[in-house]
C-alpha cells in the first residue's frame, strides 16, 4: 500500500536534512536544521515584506524615521551581514512591536517608539529582531514546521503565485506573524538566543547593553494587569527567567561595548 503523499514528502525532507547537514547560528554557535537555501529564504522574506507594506500604513513622521534609520544602520553594520537592509516605521500606536525578516527587512511600529525611554532601548529591540533574521530562525521554523510537510518547491511556487494561505503562513513563520493575524511563536530557545545575539549587536553598535535589561523590566511591568501582554512579550520566556538570562549574558555583551559612538 502506498504511503500518503505527505508522509513521503516528510521522508524526503528528512533525508535532505541529513544530506545538507547543519548550519551554525551567530554568536551562540548553536547547530541548526536548515532545509531551505538562504537565498530562497531571503526571497521569501522580501515577498513577505512587500505584502506587509501593502497592508500596513508606513509612517511619514520624520523624527521617527530618522531615529529608526540611525539605529538600524548601526545595528546592521554590527552584524557583518551584507544584506539589502531596509528600515520602515509602521503606524500603530497600540502596537508595541517590531520585526525583521530574512535579508534585512526591518519594521518598527510607532507604539514601540513611544514606549521606549531612549535610543539604546530601541536598539535593544531592533538588535533582538535583527538577530532573529541573521540567526535564520525563520528558516529554521520553516524547515521544522512547514517544509517537512509540503516541500520546498511547493512552498516557493505558492509564494510566487501569491496564494493567500501560503503567504500568510510563510510570513508568520518568518517572524512577522502579528502583522498578518497569525502568531506562530519562535520557540523559547530561539527567543533567548535572539536576546543574547541582539545584546552583542547593540554593544558592537555602541549602545550600552544594560539598556536591554532596563527595557525588558519595563516591558514586564507594563504587561502587569493587562488581559493581553504586548505582542513582543506574548511568545517569550517568563519575565524573571528572561531577565536572569540577560544578566547571565551581560558580561559577554559588555565585552563588546566601547562606551558609545
Q: Which long-range contacts (CB under 8 A, 24 or more apart) does 159-164 make?
A: 159/44, 159/47, 160/47, 162/47, 162/51
For 108-120, letters b (16+ CB in 10 Å) and e give bbbbbbebbeeeb
Between the CA of residue 175 and those of 80, 106, 208, what are the distances in Å?
A: 21, 11, 26
Tracing cell 531596509 back to the chain, one arrives at 86
Asked about 129 being catalytic, the answer comes back as yes
Q: Which long-range contacts (CB under 8 A, 24 or more apart) does 156-165 make?
A: 156/40, 156/43, 156/44, 159/44, 159/47, 160/47, 162/47, 162/51
SS3 243: helix
Q: Which helix (H) or strand (E) holds 33?
A: strand 31-33
Gyration radius from the chain CA atoms:
18
197 DSSP assignment: H
Catalytic residue among 129, 140, 191, 231: 129
29 DSSP assignment: -
Phi-psi label, residue 205: left if phi above 0, alpha if psi -120 to 50, beta otherwise: alpha
Q: Which residues are catalytic?
A: 129
Amino acid at each position: 500500500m502506498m504511503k500518503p503523499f505527505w508522509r513521503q514528502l516528510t521522508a524526503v525532507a528528512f533525508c535532505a536534512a541529513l544530506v545538507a547537514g547543519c548550519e551554525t547560528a551567530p554568536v551562540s554557535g548553536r547547530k541548526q536544521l536548515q532545509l531551505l537555501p538562504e537565498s530562497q529564504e531571503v526571497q521569501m522574506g522580501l515577498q513577505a515584506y512587500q505584502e506587509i507594506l501593502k497592508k500596513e500604513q508606513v509612517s511619514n513622521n520624520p523624527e521617527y524615521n530618522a531615529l529608526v534609520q540611525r539605529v538600524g544602520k548601526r545595528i546592521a553594520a554590527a552584524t557583518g551581514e551584507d544584506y539589502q537592509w531596509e528600515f520602515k516605521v509602521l503606524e500603530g500606536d497600540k502596537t508595541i512591536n517590531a520585526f525583521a525578516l530574512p535579508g534585512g527587512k526591518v519594521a518598527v511600529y510607532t507604539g514601540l517608539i513611544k514606549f521606549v525611554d531612549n535610543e539604546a532601548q530601541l536598539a535593544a529591540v531592533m538588535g533582538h529582531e535583527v538577530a532573529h533574521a541573521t540567526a535564520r530562525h525563520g528558516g529554521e521554523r520553516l524547515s521544522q514546521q512547514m517544509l517537512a510537510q509540503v516541500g520546498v518547491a511547493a512552498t516557493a511556487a505558492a509564494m510566487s503565485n501569491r496564494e493567500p494561505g501560503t503567504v500568510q503562513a510563510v510570513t508568520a513563520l518568518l517572524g512577522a506573524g502579528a502583522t498578518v493575524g497569525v502568531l506562530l511563536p519562535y520557540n523559547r530557545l530561539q527567543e533567548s538566543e535572539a536576546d543574547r545575539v541582539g545584546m552583542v549587536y547593540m554593544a558592537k553598535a555602541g549602545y550600552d547593553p544594560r539598556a536591554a535589561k532596563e527595557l525588558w523590566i519595563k516591558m514586564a511591568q507594563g504587561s502587569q494587569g493587562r488581559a493581553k501582554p504586548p505582542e513582543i512579550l506574548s511568545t517569550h520566556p517568563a519575565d524573571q527567567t528572561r531577565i536572569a538570562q540577560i544578566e547571565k549574558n551581560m558580561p559577554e555583551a559588555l565585552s563588546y561595548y566601547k562606551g558609545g559612538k
